[in-house]
Structure 1
Amino acid sequence: MNKKLIASGTIASILLLNTGGVAFADSNKLNEDIFIKGADLNSQQLEETKKKLDVDDGYKEISITTNDVAKYTGNNNLSFIHSSATITPKKFKKGVTVDIETPENITRITKEQYTNAAITAGIQDSEIKVASIDKVTGEGALTGIYKAYEENGNSLNKDDVQNANKEMNDLASISEQNKGQKGYSDEALNNAIAEMKKEIASEKQDGKNLTREDISKIVNDILKENGLNKILSDNQINVINNIMVNVSNSEILNKDPKAYEKQAKDLASNIKDKAGNLLDKAKELNTEENRNLLQKIWDSIVEFLKKIINWLLSWF
């Protein structure tokens, strides 16, 4: 099982080849469609994977091996790689979008988590599709990205990529821990994360040097706006604070905070468009709890007044 979990890391080796789209200069954007295939697929599995990802002869084809993963992650436990992906530059639309073509086989990471991580790493204006012929968790989606940086001489910061991978795993853990919790959804969490990134990037455009306290206020305010402040534990909120400190310090954000803000804004808007009802559930729960609290206070006041009145009446 562990081998398959790690093999899932190659899923977004997609990002490997997106280094052309990592930098914000137009000359560095991805300019061709790329199919990243697991090197250990047999011919039948390869054709099945291509079909799932709608790959045609126009795609440049790249193989990802266990040696690639070992080189860039230090993990030598792989025995095979089946996970595959495509990455396509957006010619007119902006932002990063991710679609999981085999959701039944990507068992842990969601498309919103992939997209948030891609933004943290610096991926720009690309459409990513992910597929696997067998079950993998998908949490190693950024592992192959280092290879692309090296081959393309891109200046994307290594720490940004590592933080993106950690962010993705942390958000997946928070969603697992809150599964079934009333009012919670992974979409609501990732929408809040995107809004936090947008706000931090906006502050950076004004030349503000954000302290940990500043970031904590942004995190708490946005969690409250999204109805998540009473759902998440203190430890989970602290994890999110650490994610946002890394975002604030990232090279990719500080290089061009305006472009980073646009990426995060696009993601938040996309989540709201597709999952607005799930976001509303958390907000409604928060409003209901506030209403219940006020009702309890009012009931206490009424009860107190009744006792006073009854006491006064007892004198007559």
Structure 2
Amino acid sequence: MKHDSVAIGIIGAGIMGERLLNAILQQDPGLVQACGIWDPAPEAMQRMAKAFPQVPRLADAAAVIAASDCTYIASPPASHLPHARAALAAGKSVFCEKPLAVDVADARAFVAEAGDRGAVNFPFASSPAVATIRRWIEGGEIGTPRRIAIEVGFAKWPRGWQADAAGWLDGPAQGGFTREVVSHFLFLSRRLVGPLQGLAGKASFPEAGKSERRIAATLQAGDLPVTLKGAVGETPKDDHNIWMLEGDKGAVRLCDWSIAERRLVDGTWQPAPDALPQAEARPLALRRQLEGVAKLARGEPHHLATLADALEVQEIVEAILAGRAASIR
């Protein structure tokens, strides 16, 4: 296995499952290969048959796990841990979509059981723009870091391209933009600055049976204060976000997922010369994510988000949605 191509099986044929499958098929087959996909929805499997006829469509989740070296779980969040436990019990590694889960206590138990046999798909771990921001920080561009500000906004939720999954994406039990989007920026704060703690936050659920429409929170990443806000319906943009780190000599930020910028002395923002829009940056990040998955499956050190990273993010997210202080363990 150390030197063989890693077989990745996919549970869930929604947008994320399809994206990673497409990335696998574009990767070096000597590194990774797609061994099969399954989704409980017949229409999803029919779509896979038409788009990816070369990929085996398997009978159920157990068949995917049996065929794989590493099982990629891209099903709705409440099903993540049952599939992950089944894969680990079969001796396979696990690459899971975020959020890791929605039940914090169950996620804590799972992480304690799983050890280092799994990782979670936070693509900022492989983002070219994040690598640029890290270089700027380490090169002294901002001086001593002082604070982080995170802002996300959406014209509507779910976003247009997620309409097929609105049944769970716009429900309070599994969905909402805090789990789906804010979690990425919490992971980024943890990865670049330090552990997350000290939350005070709240969420607003003005529509019965629907996910949150506004959040506001303060917390810490390492020793730095973090302010966080998000809202639906207050921007014309389908999806807008800014993660900013300010220091005593300057500031850097990540805009709309993939544009690294630094603040000039006149207060204007300058994009990195090699900045790419998200549509072009995403395949580069997914390619590197798959390089990490291959290492994970082989038991080698990797750069992916660990299960412990994802649990820490989940604890903050669920505490915001519950409108209470977080207790990070």
TM-score, length of structure 2 as denominator length: 0.26
Give the number of the structure whose alpha-carbon radius of gyration is greater. Answer: 1
Larger strand share, 1 or 2: 2
Larger helix share, 1 or 2: 1
TM-score, length of structure 1 as denominator length: 0.27
